[in-house]
Amino acid sequence: MDWDVKHYPTYWVGDTAGEFKRTELAYPHVPKEHPKFAQSMTVGNLIYVSGCTGQDCLEGGPTPTAIEGQMKNALDGAKNAMETAGSSLENVVKTFILARSLDDYQAIRKIETEYYEEHAPYLLENPPAATLMVVDSLARPKFLFEYEVIGVIDRKAPGWELTFYPEYWGGKMLAYPHVPKEHAKFARTEVVGNLVIISGCQALDHDTVKVETDDFEEQTRIVLEKLKIGMEETGGSLDNLVKTNVFLKDMDHVQRYRDVERAYFAEHAPELAKIPPASAAIIVKELPRPEFLVEVEGWGVVDRTAPGWTTKFYPGSKDAAAVVAAGNLLFLSACDGSDPKSGGVETDVVEEQIIVALDKVRATLEAAGSSLDKMVRNLMMLRHLDDYPKMRKTEVEYYEKHAPHLVAKPPVSTFLQLPAISGPGTLFQIDVGAVL
């Protein structure tokens, strides 16, 4: 397998430090408090693209105030990133959409479809796996939309071939023109070589296209059953699930979700009952429908022993592996600012919590035979948007000390502000992907 890693820097055109110019988003080209991340990073045939916002980073124009203009800029950014990495927008296999308002949902799906009509027609009938969330804020209060994508360089690369598994609601394939432009459109799963990517699963009944229960635990079991189906239809099994992102609207539901999940694994996935997949619990403002109480997206492998894809689980807590290696890819559980020994929050200083979380990431990677320098992507989460400059400054200063490679070549990154993070008093959380 080809696991070569390449870094493609981000350049913003605009006013940086009082000067209008094209600036690379890495230190010392921008101040420590400024955003710093790669445009994309490739791992073998995979392309990870940083979250693209409504800011016009290509031409330096003003950020539009309406969702339509911001989406155009974000989609242009994703398209440019895919092309810079030697691919095209048609080779996107996964999207992670962040919106500020659920009221924009139909407009988002319509604009996305019309953009694909013009720039990526293959994705109309073969939409990528997808997850969409509503969050309190993005990196700037004026941002309404963010668009993160995963793609491939070549759909037919040996060992990385793609297989598309469509989703159906009410007997209709979730692709255009089978459903209206304003409707949800995504794959159930996408397989890249041995890697399985499952769209966000909710408790929607696919025949009635309704949520038939408002009981949280029943919704959770329905979601887990969909993850199981998604893994099995690829030729694998639920035991081959390596990472989940669990999206909830209520922090009090986190432990209830884990209890149901643990019981479900005990019944349907004996290997995951021993060591669960790596996982992140993310508290969001809203899910794609008000009646949804939980949504889970997943990554897995078709075969844990496939050549080049040997899969190993490293124990963490009773609810999640610390890290799972699948081939050269490392999937970590989210790390927050709580004390690793007591489990409680020992400080209300955000910089100190960030250092605690990054210490956890570094220790986890080293235990798996990797290092912090080999981080390729992250999702950074803050409780308070005012802490964003402090987060970026603390991040780069931590890299200066522990991962100097990341100072000049920062990883792919996406940011969200959340209404709550993992527990009372927690101010920061980071979800990381890396390589061996």
What is residue 306's three-state secondary structure? Answer: coil
Domain 1-155 has CATH 2.40.30.170: no
CA 76 to each of CA 69, 79, 117, 323, 348: distance values in angstroms, whole numbers, following the listed order: 11, 5, 14, 34, 39
Q: Kindly give the pairing relationship between strand 92-99 and strand 145-152.
A: antiparallel
Taking Cα atoms as reference points, which of 13, 96, 110, 11 lies closest to residue 67? 110
Residues 378/372/376/138 CA torsion (nearest 10 deg): 20
Give φ, ψ of 392 to 5 degrees: -65, -40
CA 277 to each of CA 128, 311, 314: distance values in angstroms, whole numbers, following the listed order: 23, 11, 9
Rg of the chain, C-alpha, whole Å: 20
Q: Which CATH superfamily is domain 194-333 in?
A: RutC-like (3.30.1330.40)
Q: Residue 180: how many CB atoms within 10 A of its CB?
A: 12
Q: Kindly give the pairing relationship between strand 38-43 and strand 19-24.
A: unpaired
Token pair in block for residue 99: 């919106």
Beta partners for 374? none
Q: Which CATH superfamily is domain 345-436 in?
A: RutC-like (3.30.1330.40)
Taking Cα atoms as reference points, which of 101, 102, 94, 62 lies closest to residue 78? 94
Per-residue pLDDT at 343: 81
Give the contacts of 375 (CB within 8 A, at least 6 positions apart). Answer: 361, 365, 403, 406, 411, 432, 433, 434
Asked if 294 and 288 touch (Cβ cutoff 8 Å), the reply is: no
Burial of 75 by CB count in 10 Å (0-12 exposed, 13-18 middle, 19+ buried)?
buried
Q: How far apart are the first and last CA of the chain?
A: 13
Per-residue pLDDT at 423: 85
Asked if 435 and 330 touch (Cβ cutoff 8 Å), the reply is: yes
Asked if 418 and 282 touch (Cβ cutoff 8 Å), the reply is: yes
Q: Kindly give the pairing relationship between strand 92-99 and strand 129-134.
A: parallel
Beta partners for 12? 23
Per-residue pLDDT at 341: 80
Per-residue pLDDT at 36: 97
Task: Print pLDDT tens along the chain (436 aa).
Answer: 889 999 999 998 876 555 557 899 999 999 999 999 999 999 999 999 999 999 988 888 889 999 999 999 999 999 999 999 999 999 999 999 999 999 999 999 999 999 999 999 999 999 999 999 999 999 999 999 999 999 999 999 999 999 999 999 999 999 999 999 999 999 999 999 999 999 999 999 999 999 999 999 999 999 999 999 999 999 999 999 999 999 999 999 999 999 999 999 999 999 999 999 999 999 999 999 999 999 999 999 999 999 999 999 999 999 999 999 999 999 999 999 998 888 888 899 999 999 999 999 999 999 999 999 999 999 999 999 999 999 999 999 999 999 999 999 999 999 999 999 988 899 999 999 999 9
What is residue 277's three-state secondary structure? Answer: coil
In which residue ranges of the chain is CATH 3.30.1330.40 found?
A: 1-155, 194-333, 345-436
Give the contacts of 342 (CB within 8 A, at least 6 positions apart). Answer: none
C-alpha span between 373 and 331 (Å, rounded): 15
Q: Give me the DSSP letters along 113-160.
A: HHHHHHH-THHHHSPPEEEEEE-SB-SSTT--EEEEEEEES-TT-TT-
Q: Give me the DSSP letters along 342-375.
A: T-S-----HHHHHHHHHHHHHHHHHHTT--GGGE
